[in-house]
Structure 1
Amino acid sequence: MTIFEKVNALRSLMEEKEIHAYIITSSDPHMSEYVPEYWTARQWISGFTGSAGTVVVTRKKAGLWTDSRYFLQAEKELEGSGITLFKMGIPGVPNQYQWLLSELESEANIGFDGTCFSIAQSKELKNSLADISIHINEEGDLINEIWSNRPSLPNHKIFEHPVEFAGKSRKEKLAIIRNEMHQLDAKHHFVGSLDDIAWIFNLRGQDVDFNPVAIAYALINEDSCTLYLDQSKLDDELIFSLNKDGILTSDYNQICNDLEELRGSENVLLDSNRSNLKIYRSITANIIEKENPSQLLKSQKNLTEIKGMKQAMLQDGLALTQFFCWLEENLGKTIITEFTLIDKLREFRSRQKHFMGESFGSIVAYKAHGASPHYSTTTETDCEIKAEGILLIDSGGQYMNGTTDITRTTALGELSPEDKMDFTLVLKGMIQMTLAVFPKGTRGCNIDILARQALWMYGKNYGHGTGHGVGCFLNVHEGPQSIRQELKDQAILPGMISSNEPGFYKEGAYGIRHENLILCKEKLTTKYGEFLEFDTLTLFPFDTKALDINLLSEIEKSWLNHYHQKVYDSLAPQLDEKHKAWLKNKTQAI
C-alpha cells in the first residue's frame, strides 16, 4: 500500500466507526522515544522515519507535527503523501490541538490507541478542545485493523547487568524507592517506562534497537514486587535470582487485571508522563501523580557507574582513533560512502572490550546531508565521500560499563573563511558550556545561552537542545535533566552526565556539530553557596585545521590545548605506533 492508500483505508475505518479525527503518536505503551517495530504505527501510516512526531488524520485532511531536527527529512519523506508538514516551534504554526480546534465541529469524535497515549497527553487534548465538547474514543487501535503484515512483538532474552557495573544491587535500589514511596504515603508504585525498569532491577534486554531494554511493566508494593513480561525471555537462573530478591514474575498482559484489584483506599504512585491511558483507567485506587523516583536516582550516577562511563569513553576514543586514521588513509584511494563509514564505525567499536552494540543509528552526514540534524542514510541518499567538503559524524556505543555519544565534524578539503567561522563559533559555544561554573539549583535553561552566545553574536542559531542526559549502558537519551532554552524544572546535579552539543546547519551546504559528554560535579562551597562545574568525559580530538584560530579567546585556546593533551595522554598508552603517531599529530597545540 502507498501512503495515500493507507490514509484512505484509515479514513474508511474512521467513517465506519464514526470517528472524525484519529491521532497516531510515535510512542508505545511504555511512552518510549524509540520503539520496537511493532509500534511504529506513525511511521507506517506516514512514511516519516524520524523518532519524534505525531500524525493526525481527519475525514479530509492529514498532518504531521515534528520538531526542527526533522524538518528537512520530513519534507522529503512526506512528499506526494497528501500529509501536510507542521513545523513545531515555528511562530504562527498551530500545534495539533489548535489545528483540530479549527477543523472539527462541536461534539466531534476523536480516536486514538489509549495504550500509546500518555495520561498527560490525554489531559492536554481534553483541555485544548474543551470549547467544542469533543468525545474521545481511546479503545481502538485502528492501525492494527489495516496493517496486514504488522511485525510481531520482540522476543529476545533478558540478561543481568552485574553489580560490578551497576554499582548498586536491585535490593538496594528497591529499598531507596520504597523509602520514597513511604514519604508519599504510597502503598504501591506502578512503573511503565522501560529504562526505569531496566535500571531498578539491573536487567537489560534487546527489544528496542540501540536501547538495551526489555518490554515489561513493574508493580512495586510495600513488601512485594512483580515484573510483568513475556516470561519465556527469562532463563531459570535469572528467575531464581529475581525470586531470591523478592521479585515475582507474571504475564505481560496481566498488569491491568492486577491494578484493578488494588484497594481503593490505598495510594498508587504513578508517573503521568510515562504511563499510558489504559493503565490509568485500570486503577480504581487513589493515584498520586508524580515523576518516577527512579528518574532522578538513575540520572545521578554512582561512583561505579562514573568509573565505568569513563572507561567506556576511553574504549570509544580508541575505536574512533582507529576509524578516523583508516578514513584518512583510504579517502580517495577506494570508494567510500556514508554506509561504508557506518559499517566501519561499528566494526572498530566491536573490537573493544564489553561492546554490546551501537547506542543509536550512526549519523554519517556528508556535505548538504549534514544540514538535517538527525539525517539518516538510506539506499536512495547514500553518496560517495570525497576529499572535499564537510563530514559530520554523530555516533555512539553501548558497552556493559557505559554508553557513549560523540559528534565530530571534519573538513575533508579546503574550507572557505565562512565555513571556518561557523565551525569555530560552534566550538566556542561547546567550550563555554564546558567551562561553566554555576550555583547548585541551576536549571539547564539557565546555562543554555553559553552554548549559543557566540552564534547569536553573528545572528546564527540552532533549533535543537544543547544537551540531554545519557544513561549508563542504557538509553542514550534520558531525563530528567536537559540543557535547552525551554524551561524544565530540574536542576543540573552532581553525578548527572549530559551531552554538550551545539550546532549550526546551513541548508544545501553542511551541518556542523561538536559534542562531548560532560559530568556535573562539585567545585567549591563558599559563604555564597555550593557551586558546580563540568568534567569532560569524551576522549577524541577536534579538527583544528577547520578552525579560525583568531576567533578563539586565550582561555578557549588554552582549554582546547589542555583537552587535546588529555586525549593523547589517555589514549596513547593503548595504541600501536601508527595510531599513536596519528593521534599525536591531531592533538598538537594551536
Structure 2
Amino acid sequence: MTVVADRIARLRALMAEKGIDAYVVPTADFHQSEYVGEHFKARKFITGFSGSYGTAVIGKDDAGLWTDGRYFFQAEHEMEGSGVRLMKMFVGDTPSVTEWLASYVPKGGKVGFDGRVLSMGEGQEYEEALTKKGIQIDYSEDLIDQIWEDRPPLSDKPAFFLEEKYSGESASSKLKRVRKVMEEQGATVHIIASLDDVCWLLNVRGDDIDFFPLLLSYAIVKTDSVDLYVDETKLNDQILAEFAKVDVVLHPYNDIYEDIKNLSENDVAMIDPMKMNYALYKNIPCKTVECANPTILMKAMKNPVELENIKEAHIKDGVAITKFMYWIKTRYDKEVITELSAADKLTSLRAEQEGYIRDSFEPLCAFADHAAMMHYSPSKETDVQLKEGNLFLNDTGGGYYEGSTDITRTFVLGSINEELKKYFTAVVRAMMNLARAKFLYGCYGYNLDVLAREPIWELDLDFQCGTGHGVGYLANVHEPPTGFRWYIVPSKNEHHQLEEGMVITDEPGIYEDGKFGIRTENEFIVRKGTANKYGQFMYFETITFAPIDLDGIDPQYLSKAEKDWLNDYHKQVYEKIAPHLTDEEREWLKTYTREI
C-alpha cells in the first residue's frame, strides 16, 4: 500500500465514524486562493497530486481527482497506486463533482467537507444538487486535519507595506472608490475574504504563500472604518501607522467567524460568491447583496504608475532571462546542467536585479518529454540532465517591487528535426498573431482567442488550456477577470471585456505526451488606439523582452508580416537588453536577435 493509499484508508475509517459517504477536498485555503501555503495543501496530502488546480472526492469505495488539461499527464503519474481515478474536466462525458456526488451518494447519505475551503458558490451548488436528492451536507469538519499528524503550521512571516511610488494610489483613495460601489449597491458593509483583494486595497503584502507575496487576512469594510482580521505580530510600525490613517481596526485572524454573527439585522453585506468561503457565508446574519468584489476590476486595470513600474520590472526580468539563455545555450554541452540546477541559476540571475523580492511562481523548467506536462516542476526524484537534440521549456517569473512577471521560452539544444521546427514556428506564430491584434472596445478574451489557436489548429492540434491570463501587481500571477480561451469556464472568472491598463499573458503551446512541449509566452498591456465613427479601437503593447530562440524557427512558415513583427521585436530586445550585458553576452545576443 502506498503512503497516499494508507492516508485514504485512514480517512475512510474516520468518515465511517462520522457517517460520511463522500468527503470533498478542494485545492484551496480559507480565501479561495489559486495557490496555497503548505498548511493548506490537503488535496496533495490525500491524493499525491501536486498541481495547482483540482478537487479530490474520497468515497467509501471509490475516489476521483478532477482537474483540467494542463495536468492530465502529471496527475496520472503522481497518483499511480493511490486508488484515485483521474476525472478529466471538460473532456467527453466526464461528470462534474456535484453530478458524481449526486449519483454516488445514496438517498439519506452524507457529503462532508471543510466549509472554510469551499467557496460560497460551490457550497450553494452542492446544496442545490444534493439536498433535492435527499443527501445531507456536513461542512463543519476538517477531517484531513485529524489524520495529518505533522501538518505544517500557518505562516508567521512578516508583512511589508507597498509604498505609493509602487502602488500608484493610496489606501484612502481605494477605500473611497470601494465605498462608492457599496453605496450604489445599498450595502453598509463589504466582506472581503480574498487575499489579493485585501492586500491591494490596503497596500500591504506578506509572505504567507510560497512565491505569492500575500498576507493571510480578511477585511470588513464599513462606511467609516475597516475591520482587519490578521495575525498582528506580522505587522511592523510602518504598516500600523499607515493603517491608522484609514481607521483600520485589528482583530485576531480566526475571530471573523464569530464576529460576523454580530452584524446587525439592519446591515446589508456586499459579498462576492466566488471569493468567499461557504462557512463564512453561512455565518452572515443579515441581508446580502451579491456582486463581484469591486477591487477585482480596479486592481486589474493598472494605473499609470503601476504600468511604468511593470515595464521596468520586465526589462530587469528580460536581462535575467537573456543571461540565462546565453548560459544554457553555451554551457549545456560543456558541463552537467539539470532542470533543477537551471531553475536555481535563473533564480540567482533574477536575484541580481535591483528590487527583486522572490520568484512570482514555482519555476517550471522541463526538458524533453517532461515539457509535455504543461505545469511540470522538477523535483529531486524527477530531475534530468539537459542534453543535445531536444527542447528545454522554462516557464518562470520574477516578483519585484515594480511588479510581477511571467515569461516562457523554449530553447533548442543542438539541432532538432524538421517536424519540431514546424511545431516551434507554429507556436511562435500563434503568440505573434494575438500580440498583433487590433480590435474594438467591448471584445472579450474569447473573441480573440482564435487568433492564437489558428496556426496550431491548422496542424490539427490544440492545447488544452487557456491562451493567457491577467497578471497581478506583486500579487497573484493569475489574476481575473480577463483571460484568453475559446470557451467560458465560470470558475476561472475570466469573462470580462478587455479594458485599458490590463496586463495579460499570451502563451500558446503544443504538447505531445511522452515526447515534447513547446510554449512561447509574452505579456502585454491593453491600450487604446484610434477612436472614430466605428468606435474605440484597442491594441496590445508587448512588454516582455527576451530573445525567442531562432534555432527553432523555420522561416518558410512565416508570412512577411510575421517576419517583420519578429524582426522588429528582436530589434527592441537588443536595444533594451544589450546595455545590461557583458561584451561577450552582447555579441551573442546580436546573433539571436538577427533579422530573418
Q: Shift of the alpha carbon at 1:574?
A: 2.4
Partner of 1:517: 523
Partner of 2:553: 547
Partner of 2:589: 583
- Secondary structure, aligned partner of 2:224: coil
Partner of 2:347: 346
Q: Shift of the alpha carbon at 1:131?
A: 4.5
* Aligned-partner Cα distance in 2 for 1:494–1:469: 12
Q: Deviations over 1:82-129 (max 9, x none)?
A: 111111111022222222222221121100000001110012222333
* Aligned-partner Cα distance in 1 for 2:418–2:241: 64
Q: Shift of the alpha carbon at 1:41?
A: 0.6
TM-score by length of 2: 0.98
* Aligned-partner Cα distance in 2 for 1:370–1:236: 46
Match of 2:563 among 557, 571, 577: 557
Partner of 1:298: 299
Match of 1:535 among 520, 523, 541: 541
Partner of 2:491: none
Where do 1:250-261 residues align within 5 Å? Answer: 250-261=251-262
Report if the CA contact (8 A) 2:204-2:239 is conserved.
Answer: no
Q: Shift of the alpha carbon at 1:315?
A: 0.2
Report if the CA contact (8 A) 2:161-2:238 is conserved.
Answer: no
Where do 1:491-510 residues align within 5 Å? Answer: 491-510=497-516
* Aligned-partner Cα distance in 1 for 2:129–2:424: 42
Partner of 1:195: 196
Does structure 1 residue 28 correspond to structure 2 residue 22? no
Report if the CA contact (8 A) 2:421-2:554 is conserved.
Answer: yes
Partner of 2:532: 526
Does structure 1 residue 47 correspond to structure 2 residue 39? no
Amino acid at match of 1:269: M
Partner of 2:418: 417
* Aligned-partner Cα distance in 1 for 2:410–2:236: 44
Comparing 466-475 with 128-137, greater Cα deviation is found at 128-137
Q: Shift of the alpha carbon at 1:183?
A: 1.0
Q: Shift of the alpha carbon at 1:245?
A: 2.3
- Secondary structure, aligned partner of 2:141: coil
* Aligned-partner Cα distance in 2 for 1:264–1:321: 59
Amino acid at match of 1:128: A
Partner of 1:182: 183
- Secondary structure, aligned partner of 1:189: strand
Structure 1 portions without partners, runs of 5+: none
- Secondary structure, aligned partner of 1:465: coil
Q: Shift of the alpha carbon at 1:581?
A: 1.2
* Aligned-partner Cα distance in 2 for 1:237–1:366: 45
Partner of 1:11: 12
Where do 1:163-242 residues align within 5 Å? Answer: 163-242=164-243
Amino acid at match of 1:517: E
Partner of 2:439: 438
- Identity across aligned pairs (percent)? 39
Comparing 227-236 with 305-314, greater Cα deviation is found at 227-236
Q: Deviations over 1:412-455 (max 9, x none)?
A: 12121111111111111111100111111111111111100111
Amino acid at match of 1:5: D
Partner of 1:60: 61
- Secondary structure, aligned partner of 1:239: helix
Structure 2 portions without partners, runs of 5+: 489-493
Comparing 344-353 with 539-548, greater Cα deviation is found at 539-548
* Aligned-partner Cα distance in 2 for 1:133–1:528: 55
* Aligned-partner Cα distance in 2 for 1:244–1:525: 41
How many aligned positions are there?
A: 590
Amino acid at match of 1:333: K
- Secondary structure, aligned partner of 1:100: helix
TM-score by length of 1: 0.99
* Aligned-partner Cα distance in 2 for 1:256–1:481: 31
Q: Deviations over 1:3-29 (max 9, x none)?
A: 111111111111111111110011011
Comparing 292-301 with 568-577, greater Cα deviation is found at 568-577
- Secondary structure, aligned partner of 1:560: helix
* Aligned-partner Cα distance in 2 for 1:224–1:102: 47
Report if the CA contact (8 A) 2:325-2:411 is conserved.
Answer: no
* Aligned-partner Cα distance in 1 for 2:294–2:185: 11
Partner of 1:571: 577
Q: Deviations over 1:58-82 (max 9, x none)?
A: 1111111111111111111110111
Does structure 1 residue 379 correspond to structure 2 residue 385? no
Amino acid at match of 2:449: D
Amino acid at match of 2:107: S
Amino acid at match of 1:256: Y
* Aligned-partner Cα distance in 1 for 2:459–2:154: 50
Report if the CA contact (8 A) 2:39-2:154 is conserved.
Answer: yes
Q: Deviations over 1:313-333 (max 9, x none)?
A: 000011112111122232211
* Aligned-partner Cα distance in 2 for 1:212–1:574: 27
